[in-house]
Amino acid sequence: MRLFVAVLPPQEALDELGAAVRPLRAVPESDRLTWAAPTGWHFTLAFLGEVDEALLPGLEERLARAARRHAPYVLRLAGGGRFGDRVLWMGVDGDTAALRRLAGTVQAAARRAGTAVAEEQRFHPHLTIARNRSAVPLRPLADRLAPFQGREWTAASIALVRSHPPAPGVPGAQPRYEALRAWTLGHRPGQ
């Protein structure tokens, strides 16, 4: 199964972003982009790719341990941007050093559990808003999202998410994300 570990922003933060993104959908030609469903918006900490089901118990144990070693930290959605003309995204502000450390721990945990976790050259936390396979320029959209500053929220958990691939041959079809498990940061049972 195709898995990744993510930070899932709270609904209020996603609603604010939704309100900022909605007007962009009215920009001419924006219907040629593939807009990620807001219900699946997330920040990926580690992309694990295809994982053998047999590795799941060990992976879950190591992710639980990784979560226990980190304290909750404060983030806000802020500063939209783009990867060339391929991806339109929202960035993150606040204790990004804590986010980066958490991503490092989660990636190491996934590696030790035997998954082929993607080696990050440079961790670039981003929440994908739209993907682009057309010639529509993303710059005007990214420029409109660049000043966005959402409210602060406390990131207090990590989630193991399964990505169900989209139906083949359906243009614009999207993967469906299913959160399998979540672990609270710094949480120790019985304390």
Summarize as ranges the residues that interact with ligand 2AM (CB under 6 A): 4, 44, 47, 87, 118, 128, 163
As measured in angstroms, the least distance from the Cβ of 175 to ligand 2AM is: 6
| Per-residue CA distances from 87 to 94, 118, 142, 158 (Å) | 23, 19, 10, 24
Q: Is 70 a catalytic residue?
A: no
Q: 79 is written with which tokens?
A: 């500063």
Q: Rounded CA gap, 4 and 19, in Å?
A: 27
Selecting among 70, 124, 126, 187, the annotated active-site residue is: 126
As measured in angstroms, the least distance from the Cβ of 87 to ligand 2AM is: 6
Exposed, middle or buried by CB within 10 Å (0-12, 13-18, 19+), for 148? middle
Q: Rounded CA gap, 92 and 115, in Å?
A: 27
The 3-state DSSP class for residue 64 equals helix
Identify which of residues 68 and 182 has a Cβ nearer to ligand 2AM in the complex: 182
CA-CA-CA-CA torsion sign (9, 97, 5, 50) = positive
Identify which of residues 49 and 72 has a Cβ nearer to ligand 2AM in the complex: 49
β-bridge mates for residue 7, sequence order: 43
As measured in angstroms, the least distance from the Cβ of 148 to ligand 2AM is: 18
As measured in angstroms, the least distance from the Cβ of 4 to ligand 2AM is: 4
Q: Is 42 a catalytic residue?
A: yes
Query: Is 90:83 a contact under the CB 8 Å cutoff?
Result: no
Annotated active-site positions, please? 42, 126
